């Protein structure tokens, strides 16, 4: 499988727009999820660890999962994550971890997954009873958020009610939405939601 983020990984952490967005999403997660030092967390689509680094000080351990080897290599070079965050470079839909987590977080990864239903089912399977998800992604947008040369985009955001229904159909309860961040690009406004739910 080609690493679609190989070119981006070198400068990813230096992108001010991405840094501001990631800080807002991490802050929203911390405001709406009770973190504790016994939690095992999965960061799905972890990239260079911009979300993992915000949660790691408050939890027991973080498993950072991504299909981009180049992004994960940036993560493991961060000294503040050593011993607290370990990486798995694999496709979770094809290769489960065999581990149940207290919390699964995800930031801007959902629109890169073609089969949303399969992903939600797989995330549910990876949660302990009463485990939670906290996933951030775009509200429905006209396809202008990403430039035309970006590969691997399967959804132009998500309708909150439709996503809520999908989560409930797969067993999730207490589904809540928050607006974690609003991004402005070329006079267009792109709200980014955080959805939380419990198994």
State the residue for tokens 């939690």: 39
Distance, C-alpha 82 to centroid of its chain: 20
CA–CA distance, 95 with 137 (Å, rounded to integer): 23
Reading the block at residue 104, the tokens are: 């699964």
The beta strands (E) that lie in 19-126 are given as 40-44, 61-66, 85-89, 101-107
Measure the CA dihedral 141/144/149/155, to 10°: 10
132, 196 contact by CB (below 8 A): yes
User: Which pLDDT does position 36 carry in this prediction?
Assistant: 96
User: Which pLDDT does position 15 carry in this prediction?
Assistant: 77
Reading the block at residue 1, the tokens are: 């499988």
| CATH superfamily ID and name for 6-198 | Vaccinia Virus protein VP39 (3.40.50.150)
In the chain, which stretches have pLDDT less than 50? 1-4, 9
User: Which pLDDT does position 44 carry in this prediction?
Assistant: 98
User: Which pLDDT does position 146 carry in this prediction?
Assistant: 87
Taking alpha carbons only, the member of 199, 175, 21, 14 closest to residue 125 is 199
State the residue for tokens 């496709």: 91
50-65: pLDDT as tens digits: 999 999 999 999 999 9
DSSP label of 120: H
pTM of the model: 0.93
User: Which pLDDT does position 1 carry in this prediction?
Assistant: 47
CA–CA distance, 119 with 131 (Å, rounded to integer): 16
Residue ranges covered by each domain of the chain: 6-198
CA–CA distance, 44 with 191 (Å, rounded to integer): 21
Where b means 16+ CB within 10 Å and e means fewer, 148-170 reads: eeeeeeebebbebeebbebbeeb
User: Which pLDDT does position 80 carry in this prediction?
Assistant: 86
């Amino acid at each position: 499988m080609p690493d679609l983020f190989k070119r981006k990984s070198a400068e990813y952490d230096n992108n001010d727009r991405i840094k501001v967005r990631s800080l807002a999403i991490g802050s929203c997660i911390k405001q709406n999820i009770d973190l504790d030092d016994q939690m095992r967390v999965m960061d799905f689509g972890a990239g260079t660890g911009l979300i993992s680094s915000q949660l790691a000080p408050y939890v027991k351990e973080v498993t950072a999962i991504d299909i981009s080897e180049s992004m994960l290599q940036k993560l493991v070079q961060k000294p503040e994550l050593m011993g607290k965050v370990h990486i798995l470079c694999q496709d979770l839909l094809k290769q489960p971890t065999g581990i149940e987590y207290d919390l699964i977080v995800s930031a801007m990864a959902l629109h890169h997954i073609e089969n949303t239903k399969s992903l939600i089912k797989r995330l549910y399977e990876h949660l302990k009873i009463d485990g939670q998800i906290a996933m951030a992604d775009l509200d429905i947008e006209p396809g202008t958020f990403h430039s035309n040369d970006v590969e691997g985009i399967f959804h132009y955001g998500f309708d909150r009610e439709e996503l809520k229904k999908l989560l409930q159909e797969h067993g999730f309860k207490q589904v809540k939405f928050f607006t974690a961040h609003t991004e402005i690009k070329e006079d267009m406004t792109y709200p980014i939601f955080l959805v939380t739910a419990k198994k």
